[in-house]
Structure 1
Amino acid sequence: MKTQRITYLAAALTLAMAGSSCEHDEIYEPLEFAVQLSPTNTYKAGDPVVFNFSGNADFITIWNGDTGHEYRYRERTVLDAPDRLEACELNLEFSRRSGANVGDVQFYVTDRFGGLTGSDAATDKARIEAIESGNFDGWIPLEIEEPSSSGKWSLTTHDLLDVDGNGTSVNDNFCLLMRWHPASAAAQRNYYINASVKVQFRDYSATTMKITELDPICFNRPDEMAGKEYETYTASSTGSKLGYLQTGGNYDVILNGTESSVVCPYRIDTWYVTTPLKLNMIPSDTGQSIKGVTDDVKSYSHIYNEPGTYTATILAGNGNYQGESGIRTYEVTFTVVEKIGGE
């Protein structure tokens, strides 16, 4: 490696004064700190890169500079790079527990819906009625493979980057709507459903979110459910669940149309709508605290498994009676190369 550049990015932060007459103001040692790359480093993928520290820093935090740990992305929450989004898919697992009904449960997706309030029943009812009266305009129906016999499971996967086969993507403001609305009140059945969204960015591990993690809102629309529009049951609930949507337990969603051979007396019309979500959201990059005030840390090592140029960022500071202060930021840039042959 020809150069090992260390750049000092920021001056010490100004300390807040505790009080004009307080004799303990600014009781801390001026920061003296340096970081250097170890002269024994080989800078080959899979080998440790060692950072040597000197000085009197009480606190040291490092962003390694590899994927998920870049200091410049510490506040990033959205990855605005469509080419980095390699996969975005909805997986629906579906099982009918009795009867031969088909089409009692329908699924739709869109990127044009503002969501339900979850608290104002009159407003949400009006929004739902507008969707239905508008013949689900702007919503894309999803075909699901319903098992041919009771108790069997089917899995249907939908590409949310091309949800209709014409290149339509719904990842920018994704919203999933599930409607449970049997054809009549005479033969309403039970259903078990698992639903999840998988998002894969290049260079990142895939993220999978269950439907219950997408802040869904349940709305029971029949007049018989007036005053109980948002009620659901959980796996730990007691009492009758007839006519209700249930969450938790071994399945994401259970739809209870029948209970102990008793069929729900009114025609169920339950809407389960997720809160609109940008699927290109990504966790902010994180650093690692490697030294506290009582620790004696002279070096730190990290293995970079992929070749490339990395910039590690180190935050160092001292503390006083008010807490951590005097923070300074340091950068170390270096290049890791591929190992050759049997190295």
Structure 2
Amino acid sequence: MKNTIYKLSVLVFGILVFQSCDDLDEVEVPNFDVAFNTTAKVDEPVQFTVDNAPNFLNFYAGDFGHQYKYKDRTNADGKVTMSFLNSQKWGLGSNATETLTVWYSKDYDGSGTAEAVNNATWIEITDRFDISDRYDFDFQSSGEVDISDLADGENIYFGFRYFSDNVEDRGAEWYFDGFEIEMDVENAPAPLTVADMINPGFKSVDVQGIVDGWNAAKWYYDTGKNIWRMRGNSDRIVNEDWLITNAINLTKVNPDKGMPLKTYSEQLKTFEYIYGKAGTYTITFVGSNETIYGQEGNVKEYTITVTE
């Protein structure tokens, strides 16, 4: 009898332990709530209170750049424009104008060698832009130029070519800054940035007239002024130098991003957010519970109206 009772006790204990393990393996679906005032004023903090926050929680405010529906958008269709700032001085004779031209290539290999530049097919588009012919270093805008016809989903390179074969007169010096490519997308309150001075960045390529001087007769980045500069043919040489972007895809855009509010070990009760423009926004919270046994998620949407 005692032996039978013992066996039953062991069996019951085993079942309980097995159930407990099953419970430990189970990952709970996030069951959080968010409270806030559904009306707000521009530039005034909105306070959000989170009850029963999950292990991880991300917040999409719904304003420009933070919309959940665009979290996976990496390509878009829209009008693509390009602009930059440029200025020149010191050029004499035929070097006073037209030493800077604008080109693009779709078969350049991006290596930054003179051979690669010479082997690529370059198409000139200088006439689309306003290039400075003033004798000063006051930046002039190129204008916001439509380049939508060049957007085909393939990589493209833009090159800013300095060329002078006038070795008698002083060569021009150029300043270059403010490079930007943007896309106007339907329903977006502002253009999306496709490229700028930093992303994807530039390479300078000496094609002809290479000299040993650090900043002589070549494009170089002036860390004091934080601009690109071209010194021209100060050494009285035939000179060809290129400032070329890294590869750009004119249909590629950055996906919208959420704000990570908490990670596994952090506590979260309240947080604040400020809207800079009036409008009605769809707010999205993305919560998830994660363990070594798996992950469960929950997405909750709310609406807020922001007025002036």
Shared fold (TM-score greater than 0.5)? yes
Say whether 1:310 aligns with 2:282. yes
Q: Which has the higher strand share?
A: 2
- 1:116–1:273 CA contact under 8 A, matched in 2: no
Q: How does 1:19-98 map to 2 (within 5 A)?
A: 30-31=27-28, 33-38=30-35, 41-46=36-41, 48=46, 50-54=48-52, 57-82=54-79, 88-97=81-90
Cα distance per residue 1:298-343 (max 9 Å; x no partner): 34554555332514132221434x9xx4231222233x34659xxx
What is the CA distance between 1:25 and its match in structure 2?
11
8 Å contact from structure 2 (residues 50, 268) kept in 1: no
Give the drift of 1:155: 0.6
Find the counterpart in structure 2 of residue 107 from structure 1: 101
Q: CA deviation at 1:62?
A: 2.5
Q: Highest CA radius of gyration, 1 or 2?
A: 2
2: CA distance, partners of 1:72 / 1:35: 21
CA shift, 1:286, in A, is 1.4
TM-align CA RMSD: 3.8
Given that 1:90 and 1:159 are in contact with CA atoms closer than 8 Å, whether structure 2 keeps it comes out as yes
Distance verdict in 2 for CA 1:319–1:216, change over 3 Å: same
* Residues 281-301 of structure 1 deviation map (CA, whole Å, 9 limit, x = unaligned): 432211222223333323455
Instruction: State the shift of 1:60 in Å.
Output: 2.3
Paired residue for 1:183? 165
Distance 2:68 2:286 in 1: 9
What number of residue pairs does the alignment pair up?
275
Equivalent position of 2:216 in the other structure: 242
User: CA–CA distance in 2 between the matches of 1:309 and 1:208?
Assistant: 24
| Structure 1 residue identity aligned to 2:279 | P
Q: Does the 8 Å contact 1:160/1:171 carry over to 2?
A: no
Cα distance in 2 between the residues matched to 1:59 and 1:104: 57
**What is the rounded CA distance, in whole Å, between the counterparts of 1:330 and 1:254 in structure 2?**
50
Secondary structure in 2 matching 1:118: coil
**Compared with structure 1, are the counterparts of its residues 212 and 255 closer, same or farther at alpha carbon in structure 2 (3 Å cutoff)?**
farther
Identity of aligned residues (%): 12
Aligned to 1:221: 207
CA contact (8 A) 1:114 1:276 kept: no
- Aligned twin of 2:264: 293
| Structure 1 match to 2:14 | none
- Post-superposition offset of 1:160: 1.8
Which residues of structure 1 form unaligned runs of 5+? Answer: 1-23, 234-238
Deviation digits for residues 4-31 of structure 1 (CA, Å, limit 9, x no counterpart): xxxxxxxxxxxxxxxxxxxx99966732
In structure 2, the residue corresponding to 1:72 is in which secondary structure?
Answer: helix
**Equivalent position of 1:252 in the other structure:** 227
Q: Does 1:273 align with 2:244?
A: yes
Measured in 2, the distance between the counterparts of 1:117 and 1:216 equals 10
Structure 1 residues 257 and 160: alpha-carbon distance in aligned structure 2, compared to 1, 3 A threshold: closer
1:283 match: 254
- What are structure 2's unaligned runs of at least 5 residues? 1-20
Higher helix share: 2
Match of 1:8 in 2: none
Aligned partner of 2:189 in structure 1 is 203
2:297 to 328, 334, 341: 328
